[in-house]
């Protein structure tokens, strides 16, 4: 069942877990291409609601923890991208199963790619290297290691059983 999460199909969040048959609130690292979809943050294959329609999708508020995936959905020392509210968040898993969450937007390239970066250690700091221009961002503080004036947002992340939760 876990492998289905990476494939095509519709999923929904029900009680914090993903279930087949409905629209997804998670965006995995692999980009899915669909005709007529202009933005990577739009729902794939789902027609847009009328402009005046209320948004009835369940999204966590800024103080709630939201389930984004199962721990086994993230290969150790890699990341995935989760759509939490309207924001793309890069969620990383380390060898010891600790998880970290930062903004997926690379401030230098202005592309949502940090979840695809390489996780490592730079002078004792746990970092992810952007796949575009290779800047390193701390998974703990969000600080760019090459430019002290630049940082990305950091979000609390934890596991509960086999579920990865992010507070955003």
Instruction: Write down the pLDDT at residue 168.
Output: 86
Average pLDDT along the chain: 76
What's the pTM?
A: 0.65
pLDDT computed for residue 31 by the predictor: 36
DSSP string, the chain: -GGGGGSSS-EEEETTEEEETS--SEE-SSPP--TT---TTSPTT-PPPPTT----S----TTSEEEEEEGGGS-TTEEEEEEETTEEEEEEE-TTS-EEEEESEETTTTEE-GGGSEEEEETTEEEEE-TTT--EEETTT-BBSS-TT-B--EE-EEEETTEEEEE-
- 64-117 confidence digits (pLDDT tens): 899 999 999 999 999 999 999 899 999 999 999 999 999 999 999 999 999 999
Using pLDDT thresholds of 50, 70 and 90, give the confidence band for residue 47: very low
The CATH class, in words, for 2-29+65-167 is mainly beta
Range in 19-28, 107-116, 124-133, 142-151 the model is least confident about:
19-28
């Amino acid at each position: 069942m876990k492998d289905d999460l990476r494939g095509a199909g519709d999923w929904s969040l029900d009680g914090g877990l993903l279930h087949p048959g409905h629209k997804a609130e998670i965006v995995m690292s692999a980009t899915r291409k669909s005709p007529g979809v202009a933005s990577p943050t739009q729902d794939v294959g789902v027609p847009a609601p009328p402009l005046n329609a209320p948004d009835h999708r369940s999204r966590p508020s800024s103080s709630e923890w939201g389930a984004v995936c199962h721990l086994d959905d993230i290969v150790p020392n890699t990341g995935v991208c989760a759509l939490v509210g309207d924001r793309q968040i890069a969620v990383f898993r380390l060898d010891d199963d600790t998880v970290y969450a930062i903004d997926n937007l690379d401030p230098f390239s202005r592309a949502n790619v940090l979840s695809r970066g390489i996780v490592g250690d730079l002078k004792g700091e746990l970092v992810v290297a952007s796949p575009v221009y290779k800047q390193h961002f701390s998974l703990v503080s969000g600080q760019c290691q090459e430019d002290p004036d630049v940082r990305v947002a950091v979000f609390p992340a934890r596991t509960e059983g086999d579920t990865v939760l992010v507070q955003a």
